């Protein structure tokens, strides 16, 4: 079913390189053309795999397999989403909500995937535009979350939040997390937000350490237009982070516009994938006997 497969791995990790070598040998034995990312290609010169950057994989591959943790997956997904290509993750990180396969069983599970036995789901991303004095300064995408936060320890920022043009709140806090269902098990969960099932078309807004106990997380429709306005007298410097990476320094008066990105991420899972089993495993919900 998949004639050309791209491989992306976490950088400078010997275990990842060994896993990539096994994957290349396995896929070549199944007569699949293999491309490997430019970061790991220097360690795989004898493998026979072609070297390609992410945009090239997006244009030419039928499937991209990502080896690493959720961070590696997020970085690759932010580029590959524009090509709406199928993605599959092999878990070699700490938590791994986005990576299903494990190295000991990956060949067995890939037998099923290559035979067309898998489930597929779509995940949406958030597209964010930063406006200053009416001018668009930057655009970023996030699969997990967009976070406006203070850049100084133990200082609060002032901001207003609007949903579809209606004022929701004026608050002072460490910031605000705007999360997709995918990101609801990441920073938003640590901030006290709810877990959203990935199939939901919804966005959750979670205040970070607000100075009022009445500030609570809010879940809104996934097609909502969200705007955050940094207060003109905000006493501290603010920053914007996309999927945990600092992307922009904010100034008083800046407007942050957030909405659903048009392109979706296409994730595939081996047969038997169970989201609730993943939650039980990753969040330690199983009782000990």
Is-catalytic flag, 70? yes
Fold topology of 4-118+270-282: Rossmann fold (3.40.50)
CB distance 131 to 254 below 8 Å: yes
Q: Is pTM beyond 0.85 here?
A: yes
Contacts 24+ apart (CB under 8 A), 48-51: 48/24, 49/7, 49/24
Ramachandran bin of 134, using left for φ above 0, alpha for ψ from -120 to 50, beta for the remaining angles: left
Angstrom distances, CA of residue 208 to CA of 134, 162, 191, 222, 241: 27, 17, 6, 21, 13
Using DSSP, state whether 283 is helix, strand or coil: coil
CB distance 250 to 130 below 8 Å: yes
Q: What percent of the chain has pLDDT over 70?
A: 99
CB distance 207 to 178 below 8 Å: no
Q: Where are the domains of the chain?
A: 4-118+270-282, 126-261
CA angle 121, 183, 272 (to 5 degrees): 35
Q: d(Cα 68, Cα 90) in Å, to the nearest integer?
A: 6
Residue 46: the pLDDT is: 86
Mean residue pLDDT of the chain comes to 93
Q: d(Cα 65, Cα 20) in Å, to the nearest integer?
A: 10
Cβ atoms within 10 Å of 181's Cβ, excluding its own:
23
Using DSSP, state whether 109 is helix, strand or coil: helix
The total number of residues shown for the chain amounts to: 289
Q: d(Cα 239, Cα 228) in Å, to the nearest integer?
A: 12
DSSP state of 27: H
- Spans in the chain with pLDDT lower than 70: 93, 288-289
Q: Which residue has the tokens 């945990």?
A: 244
Judge if 4-118+270-282 and 126-261 fold alike in CATH terms.
no
Q: 252: which residues sit within 8 A by CB, 6+ positions away?
A: 230, 231, 232, 233, 234
> What CA dihedral angle connects 12, 53, 124 and 187, to 10 degrees?
20
Nearest Cα residue to 181 out of 201, 163, 161 = 201
Query: 33-37 and 4-9: which strand pairing?
Result: parallel
Residue 247: the pLDDT is: 84
Q: State the DSSP string of 263-277.
A: EEEEEEE-TT--HHH
- For domain 126-261, give the CATH number: 2.60.200.30
Residue 178: the pLDDT is: 98
Torsion sign, CA atoms 69, 71, 76, 77: positive
Residue 92 sits at φ, ψ, to 5 deg, of -140, 30
Q: Which residue has the tokens 């992307």?
A: 247
142 alpha-carbon distance from chain centroid: 6
Query: Catalytic residue among 37, 70, 100, 141, which?
Result: 70
């Amino acid at each position: 079913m998949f004639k050309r497969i791209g491989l992306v791995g976490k950088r400078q990790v010997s275990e990842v390189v060994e896993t990539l070598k096994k994957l290349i040998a396995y896929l070549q034995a199944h007569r699949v053309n293999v491309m490997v990312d430019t970061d790991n290609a220097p360690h795989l010169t004898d493998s026979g795999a072609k070297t390609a950057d992410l945009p090239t994989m997006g244009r030419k591959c039928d499937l991209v397999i990502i080896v690493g943790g959720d961070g590696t997956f997020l970085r690759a997904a932010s580029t590959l989403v524009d090509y709406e290509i199928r993605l599959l993750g092999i878990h070699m990180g700490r938590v791994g909500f986005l990576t299903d396969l494990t190295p000991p069983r990956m060949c067995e599970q890939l037998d099923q995937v290559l035979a067309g036995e898998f489930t597929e789901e779509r995940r949406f991303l958030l597209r964010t535009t930063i406006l200053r004095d009416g001018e668009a300064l930057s655009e970023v995408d996030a699969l997990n979350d967009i976070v406006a936060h203070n850049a100084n320890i133990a200082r609060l920022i002032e901001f207003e939040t609007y949903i579809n043009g209606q004022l929701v709140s004026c608050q002072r806090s460490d910031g605000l997390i705007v999360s997709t269902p995918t990101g609801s098990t990441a920073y938003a969960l640590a901030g006290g937000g709810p877990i959203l099932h990935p199939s939901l078309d919804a966005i959750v807004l979670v205040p970070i350490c607000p100075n009022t106990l009445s500030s609570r997380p809010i879940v809104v429709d996934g097609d909502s237009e969200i705007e955050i306005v940094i207060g003109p007298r905000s006493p501290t410097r603010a920053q914007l982070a996309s999927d945990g990476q600092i992307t922009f320094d904010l100034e008083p008066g800046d407007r942050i516009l957030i909405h659903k990105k048009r392109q979706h991420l296409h994730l595939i899972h081996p047969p038997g994938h169970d989201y609730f089993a993943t939650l039980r495993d990753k969040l330690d919900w199983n009782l000990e006997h």
